[in-house]
Amino acid sequence: MKTFSHNTKANHKEVVQFEKQKELYDISSQVLYEDNHIIIINKQSSQIVHSDKTGDISLEDLVKKYLKEKYNKSGNVFCGVVHRLDRPVSGAVIFAKTSKALSRMNEMIKNHQIHKTYWAITRNRPNKEEDTLKNFIIRNEKNNKSYITKDVNNGLYAELSYKVIGQSDYYTLLEINLKTGRHHQIRLQLAHIGCPIKGDLKYGFGRSNKIASISLHARHLSFIHPVSKMQIEISAPVPNDALWQYFENNNTSPINSL
């Protein structure tokens, strides 16, 4: 006589694995804004925006999956990447849902009409409470790293402004406004003034964060909607981390009053 054995531990493990996979591929909780033309996602530090050589599933693919399931679409779903964030960086990323929106958003990026504000946690406090950093940057493709250069002919001009908006016992919170969008610009320019971002081994911080993240967060986006022409102001909640949560509740950023 055959018997059926119900393995509770094995079933529980399968359920846990399923829930983890479901959470990994379900980005509905990351949606910050959505209309007929664009969608803005609060990217996690472990996610890649666009497919790369790692073969890991990209945020672009996850957005397509989300749109396909939400609107019960058949066939291919359009999703255009408007801008990118480095894999270890978290925060707000814009995707276009139509080719018209993508074309207009690309033009806005080119004309610096999308204002991006970042938060960065550093171990060292800058000598100045606020300042504008201006450098020329050159990129080394082989090691995927950028460097400050005095060669104005071959370097790309990079400019950002920062302001100290928070302080804990050991760390400083900076608010950064990008004027240009160069490769690893914030990471490099802050390291150049002796303030490498927490967890950023590539640019001089002493030790890594969990899940290979760095403490750089795309906090706020401000722009005129490419179709409706309405003013859009979007703030991305910080990662679920004790230090980030502390600074979320203890800062002097003017963004909080928007």
**What's the domain range around 240?**
13-252
To 5 degrees, how large is the angle CA 96–CA 115–CA 228?
A: 45
Tell me how far apart the alpha carbons of residues 146 and 193 are, in angstroms, rounded to a whole number.
15
Q: What is the pLDDT of residue 18?
A: 37
- Whether the pLDDT of residue 214 is over 50: the answer is yes
Helices (H), 71-176: 99-110
Give the pLDDT confidence score for residue 256 in this predicted structure: 72
> Is it the case that residue 63 has pLDDT exceeding 60?
yes
Q: Does position 100 have pLDDT exceeding 90, yes or no?
A: yes
Q: Report yes or no: 221 and 232 within 8 Å, Cβ to Cβ.
A: yes
Q: What is the CATH number of the domain that holds 71?
A: 3.30.2350.10
Does residue 242 carry a pLDDT above 80?
yes
Q: Is residue 25 part of a domain?
A: yes
Domain for residue 257, yes or no? no
Tokens coding 233: 């102001």
- Please report whether residue 79 resides in a domain: yes
Q: How far apart are CA 119 and CA 236, in angstroms?
A: 11
pLDDT, average across residues 162-171: 97
pLDDT at residue 19, rounded to an integer: 46
Residue 148 domain-assigned (yes or no): yes
Would 258 be classed as within a structural domain?
A: no
| Span 186-211, pLDDT tens digits | 999 999 999 999 999 999 998 999 88
Say how many domains are in the chain.
Answer: 1
Is 2 inside any structural domain?
Answer: no
19 lies in a domain? Answer: yes
